[in-house]
Structure 1
């Protein structure tokens, strides 16, 4: 798809598509190192010691990049401690827990889901984004235009699909736009020279914001309508409910789940989070970002509390591979659930959180 969309040639990568790069591994080690410092500060682990057996449980989707991501995170957080990364045996296939596929086989649901995706898409103003992308890629001289007579992204039509046991899908300009902007974003994060990132055509912050609307819009339309999100996130919601509510007494002190941006996007809608803004980032679900669910106990009031934060690296922290510590931390944004109002410090009562999870797992 990338080659079809421009007459220009793409820079070479040193790993196959879909695999974690060396730089990606370094970024994850840094995030793991920071999270270790933060966990020690909160008294969940002891500095300089390996955590006791079963105190940390790591579970990743069974693809190279998710398992590798988990391994690098664990290396940064608990070096030399032999913390196992669990995953299903068959590598290269999606684990049902992390597979954001439609789990309802009725035609009525499929129709409703497609309508919901179309409605999400209709609410987006992407004309300016497509025009900029057409200029950057020289789309009029691309194979798509010359061979297939598809010469305008802004005038093309999107076709959505919601088939049983498949991910929500779209074909048309939104898919093309997402692929192109994703490629530029990854070039930027990887540290390609500026003149090689989108052939040196992205020069301002505003241009990045305009282009990122396509990547965010793709994800929002596919994974964040309530109808679709609740359906595709169900296995993951059940897993999290079990870890935080059901088996909480038996659960590890720290559970690490490594999936995909589509998992986070659908989870945020399935649990009905309030809208959020991530500062210093163009992406709504940035690469390497962590959704951190924290169980707290208030000794004074003798009650259990829940706090949820989005912990992620800024665009520049990713590009520059900045080491992360308590003194130079990643970005942190406190999130709130509509069904569990938070106090000034971002805490909501665990009893209310349990009700939200009970509703979401129905």
Structure 2
């Protein structure tokens, strides 16, 4: 990369790191943050992951899927940034313990993420992380499993297949170069496809199509194979694990970005397809909008709203699938340097802000924000002068030609109603 290219890339990253400017007369009234949990241990065992690589995998000190100590630290850094930002905006008041409401899914990693956010957003306050309770499933995150929403499996498969011309094999074949790139990385050869490795699981060998079983649409093939592997890679990288000491080469921020392509392709097709997204995120979207409307005289006593009306920040700790499905439902897109389009890194979040503009109109401003790969790796302290990455999000049918793509509350509700009313 030339010096000019590096300067331009740095300038772009800085521009994407700051929320869009608002008029001095605009007043921020409420914020809802839908966040993925922080860095967790891999879901698969190291032994299972090593069946797909030429080198050993790093070990975590916590059980599979649990938030790591570094993960909690990184979430606290994000929470501290949000606190500094919203103190500066006048939304939060020092010492007020009633300003934050937290809801989390019932997994260890989401509850621990909510706790980390609470420590940073409301220091010294006895904030409760609300859940549906141990041993229960939450319809906000598991609408199909809990019966809160019904998915027609045949229709869901048709909707997914319809996005790729009904031919999953052809769609997968178009990713051959990315598959070979991943193969070269995992097998640690100069260029993929690598020579045969007896006993190894390879993305090259995975047959595309629909996977059988389960209550949701599941994909098979190189993209699905890569999805879990590259997520484990991202988590280990963000947790500061030592790859070089285990003999790995090419594990750096520049080398990781292209490896995420297959995961994102699979995630987009499986979770952002409009019919699937409607089923998975419809209930969440309605509750989120009701929460944004609460306390502004827009609705009276809406039972769907989360937390007390006087809460200034409502933090929802969920999963990457939670964020992806909501993005798909709203037809929202985002992009941050170092990641694939619409990728959701640990601690990444869709942030919804309700503003009272100086012209008297209440609008919603949405952005996607999260730490960059190097910020995660180095656990870089965050501040208003050294913020995480951020990108304003345009909501089709609602967003306007303003720096933050302002969307009136009325228009956002209309968009949601339309997207929930249509078929696949």
TM-score bracket, shorter-length normalisation: 0.7 to 0.9
Cα separation, 2, equivalents of 1:105 and 1:213: 27
Which one of 374, 391, 398 corresponds to residue 333 of structure 1? 391
2:288 counterpart of 1:230: no
In structure 2, the partner of 1:2 is: 49
Report if the CA contact (8 A) 1:28-1:73 is conserved: yes
Cα separation, 1, equivalents of 2:252 and 2:57: 21
Question: C-alpha displacement at 1:206, in angstroms?
Answer: 5.4
Report if the CA contact (8 A) 1:63-1:94 is conserved: no
Residue segments in structure 2 that go unaligned for 5+ positions in a row: 1-47, 188-193, 298-307
In structure 2, the partner of 1:141 is: 197
SS of equivalent to 2:204: coil
In structure 1, the partner of 2:141 is: 98
Question: C-alpha displacement at 1:61, in angstroms?
Answer: 0.5
2:216 counterpart of 1:170: no
In structure 2, the partner of 1:25 is: 72
1:7–1:208 CA distance, 2 compared to 1 (3 A): closer
SS of equivalent to 1:296: strand
1:195–1:335 CA distance, 2 compared to 1 (3 A): same
In structure 2, the partner of 1:208 is: 256
Cα separation, 1, equivalents of 2:165 and 2:207: 14
Which one of 229, 243, 249 corresponds to residue 180 of structure 1? 229
Question: C-alpha displacement at 1:123, in angstroms?
Answer: 4.6
Q: Which moved more, 1:81-90 or 1:58-67?
A: 81-90
1:208–1:111 CA distance, 2 compared to 1 (3 A): closer
2:142 counterpart of 1:84: no
2:400 counterpart of 1:310: no
Which one of 354, 358, 368 corresponds to residue 295 of structure 1? 354
Report if the CA contact (8 A) 2:281-2:329 is conserved: yes
Cα separation, 1, equivalents of 2:212 and 2:294: 31
Cα separation, 1, equivalents of 2:370 and 2:157: 36
1:162–1:246 CA distance, 2 compared to 1 (3 A): farther
Report if the CA contact (8 A) 2:254-2:338 is conserved: no
Report if the CA contact (8 A) 2:153-2:216 is conserved: no
Query: CA offsets per residue over residues 103-152 of structure 1, 9 Å max, x none?
Result: 4354542442452465596556321222122233337325246xxxxxx5
Q: Which moved more, 1:169-178 or 1:75-84?
A: 169-178
Query: CA offsets per residue over residues 170-197 of structure 1, 9 Å max, x none?
Result: 2332222112211221121111234158
In structure 2, the partner of 1:355 is: 414
1:272–1:225 CA distance, 2 compared to 1 (3 A): same
2:279 counterpart of 1:279: no
SS of equivalent to 1:324: coil
1:99–1:247 CA distance, 2 compared to 1 (3 A): farther
Query: CA offsets per residue over residues 244-275 of structure 1, 9 Å max, x none?
Result: 236765632211011011111111110122x3
Which one of 263, 267, 287 corresponds to residue 322 of structure 2? 263
2:374 counterpart of 1:319: no
Cα separation, 2, equivalents of 1:20 and 1:204: 22
Query: CA offsets per residue over residues 39-77 of structure 1, 9 Å max, x none?
Result: 111111113x133x3x32100001000000010011011
SS of equivalent to 1:336: coil
SS of equivalent to 2:289: helix
Question: C-alpha displacement at 1:100, in angstroms?
Answer: 6.5
Q: Which moved more, 1:316-325 or 1:344-353?
A: 344-353
Query: CA offsets per residue over residues 301-347 of structure 1, 9 Å max, x none?
Result: 11111100112111111100011111211111100011112233212
Indicate the RMSD between aligned Cα atoms, in angstroms.
2.6
1:75–1:205 CA distance, 2 compared to 1 (3 A): closer
In structure 2, the partner of 1:149 is: none
In structure 1, the partner of 2:117 is: 73
Report if the CA contact (8 A) 1:160-1:170 is conserved: yes
SS of equivalent to 2:260: helix
| Number of matched pairs | 348
1:289–1:203 CA distance, 2 compared to 1 (3 A): closer
TM value normalised by structure 2: 0.75
